[in-house]
Amino acid sequence: MGLLRVASRLASSSARTSRSTVALAPPAARSFVTRSKPRLGHNLEDHFDFAEYVMRMHHPMGEYMIYGLMFSTFFITFGPLLHSNYYFTGRFLPKDQGNTKLCDDSW
């Protein structure tokens, strides 16, 4: 029982000293590797912090790239499907409730 008491005292005293040294330690010199403290704000602060973006004063190439990626995912996904429809049936999109050549019993 005495060993457990000594171990708990040592753990609590080392935890107290480690907390106090971390809290009282002065900040190190800043360099390009140090990270700033995160600012947890709300949308209004972002509106004033990024006024150039909100007022569209930046170069639009980034937005064009994002829209291009969105449209390219559409074409990469649905382009081969539409092409295979055209190859097999002669039309890109089949008629609603229409029969297809693949379901015929002629072959």
Query: What SS3 state is found at 100?
Result: coil
User: Given this model, what pLDDT does residue 89 score?
Assistant: 85
CA-wise closest residue to 89 among 78, 79, 76, 104? 104
pLDDT at 43: 65
Compute mean pLDDT per 10 residues along the chain, 107 residues long, and list them. Answer: 77 61 59 74 66 76 93 95 91 76 58
3-state secondary structure 48-81: HHCHHHHCCCCCCHHHHHHHHHHHHHHHHHHHHH
Q: What angle do CA 11, 16, 20 make, to 5 degrees?
A: 150
Note the pLDDT of residue 12.
77
pLDDT at 45: 64
Please tell me the pTM assigned to this model.
Answer: 0.38
